[in-house]
């Protein structure tokens, strides 16, 4: 088998995204999508474990996070544009196993719903299906957990607060201090900070809905996640019409950084279950 060429960047019009392509070049590709306020380095503890299992990892620094892909318009961060970025990456890798955490999970849900032929399997960390999350806003304490989303809509003030307090705030939610410091340091660049807040500020401009997913899926959730509660997590199964596995961990929100062994095991199990010749697996609890 001829090994695929390594990817170092992705070009979409005037935007250039950083891509980190590693592991066995002829292994099944696994696309890794980070969340807020992370970047592709959030997967640094997970990727060696995936490589050991024979998987190729392709981690994208997404829109607003890649220095060459920070459009200024709020509408440029609508979900359909974020999904199209990943779709362009899949044009280079071919159909892939997709793994997303936090906002990257939201992109992964939408991609799997809108273009299932491009997703061999789906593993989502922390983020419930968007429809399960929306329903939980009126059926649980999720609205309180999500108050920060409203705060991020305010002009200028979030930028000032995040520049000063992001690192300690992240540490209080369980993110290791070195990771918190690294993510916060990037926000010294005003364009970076404006870009990552653009994901939240584009929410009122949404034009499309995310339907049910028909891709084999694993959903991994931390029971001590301060941002995303159990009601939406448990309701996510209703929106997957394919073999589904729910894994509930005694963990916080930052699963790639704090639970790399569990994350890698979930990804490898999902990839293996959907490999050619596999019988797959049915729904089960975690």
For the stretch 72-106, pLDDT in tens is 999 999 999 999 999 999 999 999 999 999 999 99
Question: Mean pLDDT across the stretch 247-256?
Answer: 98
* Whether 141 contacts 243, CB under 8 Å: no
Determine the pLDDT at residue 4. Answer: 61
Q: What is the pLDDT of residues 270-283, one digit of tens each?
A: 999 998 876 554 44
The C-alpha angle with vertex 40 and arms to 37 and 44, in degrees rounded to 5, equals 115
Please determine, for residue 2, whether its predicted confidence score (pLDDT) is greater than 90: no
Determine the pLDDT at residue 186. Answer: 86
Residue with tokens 């849900």: 109
Q: What is the pLDDT of residues 138-179, one digit of tens each?
A: 999 999 999 999 999 999 999 999 999 999 999 999 999 999
Determine the pLDDT at residue 187. Answer: 83
Buried b (16+ CB within 10 A) or exposed e, 60-81: bbbbbbbeebbbeebebbbbee
Q: Which domains does the chain have, with CATH numbers?
A: 9-273 (3.40.50.1820)
Burial zone of 181 (CB within 10 Å; 0-12 exposed, 13-18 middle, 19+ buried): middle
Q: What is the pLDDT of residues 27-82, one digit of tens each?
A: 999 999 999 999 999 999 999 999 999 999 999 999 999 999 999 999 999 999 99
C-alpha closest to that of 129 among 205, 235, 202: 235
* Whether 185 contacts 151, CB under 8 Å: no
**Catalytic residue numbers?**
102, 200, 253
Q: What is the pLDDT of residues 124-133, one digit of tens each?
A: 999 999 999 9
- DSSP structural state of residue 203: G
Buried b (16+ CB within 10 A) or exposed e, 20-43: bbbbeeebbbbbbbbbbbbbbbbb
CB atoms within 10 A of CB 221: 25
């Amino acid at each position: 088998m001829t090994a695929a060429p390594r990817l170092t960047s992705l070009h979409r019009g005037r935007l250039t995204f950083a891509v980190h392509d590693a592991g066995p070049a002829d292994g099944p590709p696994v696309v890794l999508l980070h969340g807020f306020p992370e970047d592709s380095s959030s997967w640094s503890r997970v990727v060696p474990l995936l490589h050991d299992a024979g998987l190729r990892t392709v981690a994208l620094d997404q829109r607003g996070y890649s220095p060459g892909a920070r459009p200024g318009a709020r509408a440029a961060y609508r979900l359909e544009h974020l999904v199209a970025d990943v779709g362009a990456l899949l044009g280079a890798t071919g159909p892939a196993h997709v793994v997303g955490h936090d906002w990257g999970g939201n992109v992964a849900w939408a991609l799997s719903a809108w273009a299932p032929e491009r997703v061999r399997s789906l593993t989502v960390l922390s983020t419930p299906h968007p429809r399960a999350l929306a329903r939980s806003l009126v059926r649980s304490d999720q609205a309180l957990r999500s108050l920060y989303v409203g705060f991020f809509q305010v002009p200028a003030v979030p930028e000032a607060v995040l520049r000063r307090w992001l690192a300690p705030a992240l540490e209080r939610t369980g993110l290791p201090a070195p990771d918190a410091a690294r993510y916060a340091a990037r926000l010294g660049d005003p364009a970076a900070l404006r870009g990552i807040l653009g994901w939240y500020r584009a929410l009122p401009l949404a034009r499309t809905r995310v339907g049910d997913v028909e891709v084999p899926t694993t959903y991994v959730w931390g029971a001590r996640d301060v941002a995303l509660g159990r009601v939406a997590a448990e309701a996510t199964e209703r929106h997957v019409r394919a073999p589904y596995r729910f894994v509930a961990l005694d963990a916080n929100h930052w699963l790639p950084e704090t639970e790399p062994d569990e994350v890698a095991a979930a990804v490898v199990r999902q990839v293996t279950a959907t490999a050619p010749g596999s019988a797959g697996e049915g729904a089960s609890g975690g």
